[in-house]
Amino acid sequence: MQLLLLILLVAIGLPLLTSRKKKPRKRSCLENVTPVDVDFDWKTQEPLKVRPFVNKKSFNPSMNLTDFTANDWILIEKTYLQNVQLRREITIKHSDHTVFLNPDKRFVAAFHEFYSLVIHYLTHRYPQYFVPDKHNNVVKNLITEDQIPLDPNIITKDSVLEQDHNRELLLSLARTIEEDFILLHKDAPDEEYIMRCNVSGFPAGFDPKNNFDKPISFIHTPVPQYQKRLKVSMSKYFDRLTTDEAHVRHNWSIQTNASKFTLHSHHGREGETPPPPLKMEDIDFEKGCFLRCERQCFTRLPVLGANLMTIRTYVTPLSEIKHLEDDHVTRELIRGIDSLPEDLAFYKKRGAWGEAVKEYLRS
């Protein structure tokens, strides 16, 4: 009788154990990636032309999200080597302002999840450039001749302390992809999302240090019309975002300097005196005036549920837009400058560069 009961228990329990083992791992939609063509050459890949102002109907702040496919997430273009080398220099020199991770185990685990997603993406989308070496736990970058950890959960002998290990992982991504990234978490269902992890190699006129461990409403305090137009829709969007969705939005501005790393000066703040208007001859349009655009991508990580935002910065000389792009783009940029609502125009400092830029584009 006892033997019969034992056989029954084994018969019942074994399928349960087997089914648990076979439970599939949750996957991100960004893992559904296919390799680039065998003749893909990163040195010939033109940067994506992000022109958010073209044919735009309203210039008030909005989410304005569209879908994108996994293959279009992390791009390797001919600017890659120059930009990742610059990001390496910036994030080491200014690490106190560019690299952040809350040490709570939940947020560290979410960062490791994101790190593994990036590694999976690079080695599957660009296998000719990013080669995994499991024996040594590294990924070899054949473009930069660098290598970074393969598995983020393995602490190497060179980074004994967990804190040092995670900092090295953050810096590894900063020098491997052109995208900045943010991980957002909620402490409770009825609370706001809070920035718990961030790498910002190319900040556009703000200090990321001030936003770390802060809720999204605090981060967007300087943004015109945030309370009126963005706060509710943004909160609902982040609540509803799923692992099966990947969305993208863009923004644009004009900057009258050549720096991709700017902690101050790009934005007008409430209470500040408007800057004096510049004349066309005051601006170096060949080397010192740029259209700066951001490509912001969003999804949710599947295992720990963190919301992910990646930001890729494109900086294009206005001389290139004027001389090499279609006249329609130039006309639309002029229209976009004129169409900015006053509060957003002040935020973008149109009063300083607006008339000079329009005069140059028309000349």
Measure the CA–CA gap between 132 and 151, rounded to whole angstroms.
Answer: 10
Looking at the domain assignment, is residue 44 inside a domain? no
Q: Is residue 17 very low, low, confident or very high in pLDDT (cuts 50, 70, 90)?
A: very low
Beta bridge partners of residue 179, listed in sequence order: none
Instruction: State residue 334 phi and psi, 5-degree precision.
Output: -60, -45
Rounded to an integer, the average pLDDT of 176-184 is 98
Looking at the domain assignment, is residue 116 inside a domain? yes
Looking at the domain assignment, is residue 22 inside a domain? no
Looking at the domain assignment, is residue 16 inside a domain? no
Tell me what percent of the residues of the chain surpass a pLDDT of 70: 91
pLDDT for the residue 14: 46
Looking at the domain assignment, is residue 120 inside a domain? yes
Q: What is the DSSP letter of 167?
A: H
For residue 218, the surrounding DSSP H or E stretch is: helix 216-219
Q: How far is CA 175 from CA 88, 90, 146, 178, 244, in A?
A: 5, 10, 9, 8, 28
Determine the 3-state secondary structure of 292 from DSSP.
strand
Distant-in-sequence, close-in-space partners of 313: CB < 8 Å, separation ≥ 6: 178, 180, 202, 204, 260, 292, 293, 294, 295
User: pLDDT by residue (tens digit) across 204-219?
Assistant: 888 999 999 999 999 9
User: pLDDT by residue (tens digit) across 239-260?
Assistant: 999 999 999 999 999 999 999 9
Instruction: State residue 88 phi and psi, 5-degree precision.
Output: -60, -45
Lowest mean pLDDT among 4-18, 170-184, 197-211: 4-18
User: pLDDT by residue (tens digit) across 277-301?
Assistant: 999 999 999 999 999 999 999 999 9
Instruction: State residue 320 phi and psi, 5-degree precision.
Output: -70, -40
Share the mean pLDDT of the chain.
92
Q: Is the pLDDT of residue 153 over 50?
A: yes
Looking at the domain assignment, is residue 286 inside a domain? yes
pLDDT for the residue 9: 44
pLDDT for the residue 320: 96
Total domains present in the chain: 1
Looking at the domain assignment, is residue 27 inside a domain? no
Looking at the domain assignment, is residue 253 inside a domain? yes
pLDDT for the residue 160: 53
Contact 331, 49 (CB under 8 A): no
User: pLDDT by residue (tens digit) across 332-363?
Assistant: 999 999 999 999 999 999 999 999 999 999 99
Instruction: Provide the domain limits for residue 192.
Output: 73-362
